[in-house]
Amino acid sequence: MQRAYVKDVTIIGGGPAGLYSAFYSGLRGMDVRLIEAREELGGKVCLFKEKMIWDAGGQPPVQGGIFAGQLVEQANTFGPEILTGRKVTEIRRAPDGLFEVEASDGVIYPSRSVIMANGGGIVTPQKLKLSGAAAAEMDNLYYTVPSIAQFRGQTVLISGGGDAAVDWAAEFLGIAKEIILVHRRDNFCAHEAQVEKVREGGVRVVLNAAIHRLVSDVSKTKIECVELRDSRTEETYRLAVDSVLVSHGFEMDAELEFEGAAEPEREDGHFFLGTAEADTTVPGIFAAGDCLKYAGKVNLLVGAFQDAVNAVNRAKMFVDPDAHERGMVSSHNDRFKERNRRIIRQIAGVE
């Protein structure tokens, strides 16, 4: 099995917590590697690229896709090694004290410390298990929204009863010609204010019904009609549509093995039990973001960033016991002096 070069820290996961960990590790002068299972960086933020993010400190309202791009740009500030499209399968402690991170590409990535930032695992939208669904993904069947504008003037059927489905129905108001919101139960499990908004906005709400069949055109890829089945009467009926958006939640692949003494204590088979300083129960393995549990945990983006800073500071001291326990603020940090001078000169129009 191929063996890569040793790094000071290996970060598992390329969502907000992982990306900020990569940036802050570089700020603290660490040699960094980040491994992400998906081809795209940004984590769950990338599943809602068109939605607005309001709760990141100092950041004006920004679309998720733009925000993810900003996180990636920041993460690359100090030139970390970022590997995508490979899933970490096992982490173990080698006899020499290093952590061996084994991935699906058949490579072992040795590291002096590890930061787990894998959120709830590999997140994939739950897909329709119906004939023709896979082919329709090439045309007008969606599980995420690439661009709201592309639904302008269309009849859009949204299947789902949670916050995501109802929120998208609200977002499409004034964009789509007709919005049909289909839910298999008789009540939504979404925020009441949003439910009221879609009802008052003229969204056609169909309860106690589910998609039974997709009716495609001659190309076998474009859905022309959706056949619904009433769960109370078992009757079926068809609705003509231009697009279908399925919002049935997500499947989480949280399978990751730890060998022997390298296995931290976990809850529900996934969440790492730790401290507010980002320690897990295994020295040298730290955690940040949604995968870490401790008293007073803040499950927001700002909480993920604080976890990341703490995890990096702890990893730095683990790798270098003589290191300072905190990084310097950017305005006083030597690593930014030349960059700051260059940016200031650009703002002044000197360069």
Rounded (10°) CA dihedral 36, 39, 42, 45: -120
Pair 310, 170 in one domain: no
Residue with tokens 């016991």: 321
d(Cα 9, Cα 33) in Å, to the nearest integer? Answer: 6
What are 220's two structure tokens? 């076998």
| Among 43-47, 137-141, 185-189, the least confident range | 43-47
Token pair 């006899």: residue: 95
Strand partners, 33: 10, 81
Tell me the whole-structure pTM to 2 decimals.
Answer: 0.80
Q: For the chain, give me the number of helices (H) and strands (E)?
A: 7, 25
Does residue 224 sit in the same domain as residue 322? no
Instruction: Note whether 143 and 115 are same-domain residues.
Output: no
Structure confidence at residue 327 (pLDDT)? 82
**Paired tokens of 40:** 């795209």
Q: What is the mean pLDDT of the chain?
A: 92
* CA distance linking residue 83 with residue 107, whole number of Å: 12
**Looking at 216, 248, 280, which one is the last position of a domain?**
248
Domain boundary among the residues 248, 267, 282 is at 248
Helix or strand (DSSP H, E) at 66 = helix 64-75
User: Confidence class of residue 95 from pLDDT cuts 50, 70 and 90?
Assistant: very high
In a domain, 200, yes or no: yes
Q: What is the pLDDT of residue 351?
A: 64
Q: How far apart are CA 230 and CA 131, in angstroms?
A: 19
231 lies in the same domain as 255: no
**pLDDT tens-digit readout, 267-301:** 877 789 999 999 999 999 999 999 999 999 998 89
CATH code of the domain covering residue 166: 3.50.50.60
Measure the CA–CA gap between 20 and 143, rounded to whole angstroms. Answer: 27
**129 pLDDT exceeds 80?**
yes
Q: Indicate if the pLDDT at residue 329 is higher than 80.
A: no
What amino acid is encoded at 217 in this protein? D
Element (H, E) at 227: strand 223-230
pLDDT tops 70 at residue 245: yes
In a domain, 351, yes or no: no
Boundary-marking domain end, from 203, 225, 248: 248
Query: Which pLDDT score, from 0 to 100, does residue 254 have?
Result: 63
pLDDT at 48 over 90: no
Task: Report the DSSP pairing between strands 223-230 and 209-216.
Answer: antiparallel
Do 12 and 114 lie in one domain? The reply is yes
Residues 169 and 27 in one domain: no
Binding residues for FAD: 36, 44, 48, 88, 290, 331
Total domains in the fold of the chain? 2
- For residue 174, give its domain range: 128-248
Same domain, yes or no: 25 and 105: yes
Would you list which residues are annotated within the binding site?
Answer: 36, 44, 48, 88, 290, 331
